[in-house]
Amino acid sequence: MSVLRAVTFVFLGVCGICVSLYAIHVEEMAKVPGYVASCDFGKFASCSRVLSSEYSHFLRWAGAVPRNHPLDVSNAVLGVMFYVLIVLFPLIPGRGKRLGYLLMCTLSLAFSVFLAYILYFILVDFCAVCVSTYVLNTLIFLAVLREYRSPPTAPKAKKKAT
């Protein structure tokens, strides 16, 4: 993997971590009466309303875990875990990781499309934080796809001491 590609993964992963941490902050602060998030632009666009909706805890909403279960975490917490794995991508050796990351990023892209559908058609709202993660997930998917399609690089030979 080239240095530029490695930096791309780290940059996108760190951006995702920051956006997800902000989403966690907004979700927690939305419980405080009178709190207005900086991403709340009015009735048509309220990330605090979206991030505190039932859809913000996908595992619970899907019936996979009950409320207050240790795995009943917000989508933003799942996002932090995903983006940490993206930051680690350049550090993991071996070609086999490419397929695993491609599958993981394909799932994240499908999940983003699903959440975008919910945002637009069900919640009828706009969430700048959410859309930011959709864009990041798309860029990460494209970067992983490019890395997956690239030929493997041979390990550099060590120079012999003379």
pLDDT tens per residue across span 27-48: 999 888 888 888 888 888 888 8
Amino acid at 66: P
Q: What pLDDT, on the 0 to 100 scale, is given for residue 90?
A: 86
Within a domain: 161:
no
Number of domains, the chain: 1
- Does the pLDDT value for residue 162 go beyond 70? no
CA distances 47 to 8, 41, 111, 137, Å, are 27, 8, 18, 18
Within a domain: 144:
yes
Q: How confident is the model at residue 62 (pLDDT cuts 50, 70, 90)?
A: confident
Sign of CA dihedral 24, 29, 30, 31: positive
Q: What pLDDT, on the 0 to 100 scale, is given for residue 50?
A: 87
Q: What radius of gyration, in Å, describes the C-alpha atoms of the chain? A: 19
Within a domain: 91:
yes
Q: How much is the average pLDDT of 120-149?
A: 93
Within a domain: 158:
no
Within a domain: 160:
no
Within a domain: 162:
no
147 within 8 A of 98, measured Cβ to Cβ: yes
Within a domain: 156:
no
Q: pLDDT for 11-27, tens place per residue?
A: 999 999 999 999 999 99
- CATH assignment of the domain containing 23: 1.20.1440.130
Q: Which domain holds residue 34?
A: 3-149
Per-residue b or e along 39-74, where b marks 16 or more CB atoms closer than 10 Å to that residue's CB: bbeeeeebbbbbbbbebbbbbbeeeebeeeeeebbb
Within a domain: 48:
yes
Q: What is the mean pLDDT of the chain?
A: 88
Strand partners, 40: 46
